[in-house]
Amino acid sequence: MPDDAGPPRIALLGIPLEIGASQRGTLMGPDALRTAGIGRVLGQLGFAVEDHGNLAISSVSPAEGPPPAHAKYYDEIKIWVRALSERAFELARSGAIPIFMGGDHSLSMGSVNGVARYRQEQGRPLFVLWLDAHADYNTPDTTETGNMHGMSAAFLTGEPGLDGLLGHQPRAPIGTDRLDLFGIRSIDPPEKALVRDRRIAIADMRAIDEFGVGVLIRRVIERVKAQGGVLHVSFDVDFLDPAVAPGVGTTVPGGATYREAHLVMELLHDSGLVRSVDIVELNPFLDERGRTARVAVELVGSLFGLQITDRPTPSNAVFPDNT
């Protein structure tokens, strides 16, 4: 159960997973974030930081029949997803704010499911803000590549096709009305049709250019608040423009600028709603002397209260109830 004594707690967990993506190297992401000082920055902000190391899994995959077609490395990824879902549930229940350091975006099928299970127990709806160049709303029927990192958001809303991924563990879909795709600028035609059919909230780069990130993020925040929810931020570093963050395997020009990304994080901090985070798709093998890892750590700092100049902070942003 949550421990209300002492400073708010953050639990870091590395997930060195790379087989869900098309390029290898994201398994080095967790250690790159550590080297860039993620624990130190959060500690300086007044959090009690617990580093749980990297998730370790069994290499033995249970025999469960043929895997779904068009889902590469399904049998290997299901082991990661099941193990992570259970750990995410335990970390959320402990009262800590878990930060899942990836690793490719297929890890979110485990991290978000585990957190959503805990929130169901608490009777509070979990919303997910998907900061990403890609919608990741493919299924085995729509995918053009078979890469499972492109199916993670669809899985989380309960789309069919990967129904056995969690085995006997509870599946806790978040519902299509509790997913926000933000910063999108690359989407496959069948995926686009599915997103439209499901009426998923989407703020693409055209909308960001037209209205600005401040207006659009506040819309997300107000919707979460109106339903008494909490927010999981799934931050793919390719949300950023490649000029800002080159260390990803799926770069798409025209992404968020350095200041736009910081404003997103600062407004999310001010809301006091964020209770869990993914940091995914950081590929140090493709980076420039650790540049992308440092930017990611700076943005996490903003998400948890780092300010350039002191300004009043809303009282609900100091995580008073450890929920």
Q: What are the tokens at 72? A: 């590469």
Res. 316: pLDDT tops 50: no
Catalytic residue (one of 132, 191, 241, 298): 132
State pLDDT tens for residues 43-98: 999 999 999 999 999 876 666 888 999 999 999 999 999 999 999 999 999 999 99
121 is known as an active-site residue = no
209 is known as an active-site residue = no
Res. 124: pLDDT tops 80: yes
Catalytic residue (one of 238, 266, 278, 298): 238
238 is known as an active-site residue = yes
134 is known as an active-site residue = yes
Res. 1: pLDDT tops 50: no
Catalytic residue (one of 18, 70, 104, 134): 134
DSSP state of 93: H
278 is known as an active-site residue = no
Res. 314: pLDDT tops 60: no
Q: What pLDDT, on the 0 to 100 scale, is given for residue 311?
A: 58
State pLDDT tens for residues 171-207: 999 999 999 999 999 999 999 999 999 999 999 999 9
Whole-number average pLDDT of the chain:
93
The answer, yes or no, to whether the previous bond of 103 is cis (omega within 30 of 0) is: yes
pTM of the model: 0.94
DSSP state of 140: T
31 is known as an active-site residue = no
Q: What pLDDT, on the 0 to 100 scale, is given for residue 59?
A: 73
Catalytic residue (one of 70, 104, 149, 262): 149
Angle ∠(172,204,112) on CA atoms, nearest 5: 20
Catalytic residue (one of 18, 104, 236, 278): 236
State pLDDT tens for residues 270-290: 999 999 999 999 999 999 999
Split at pLDDT 50, 70, 90, the class of 322 is: very low
236 is known as an active-site residue = yes
HSE of 204, CA atoms in CB hemisphere, 13 A? 10
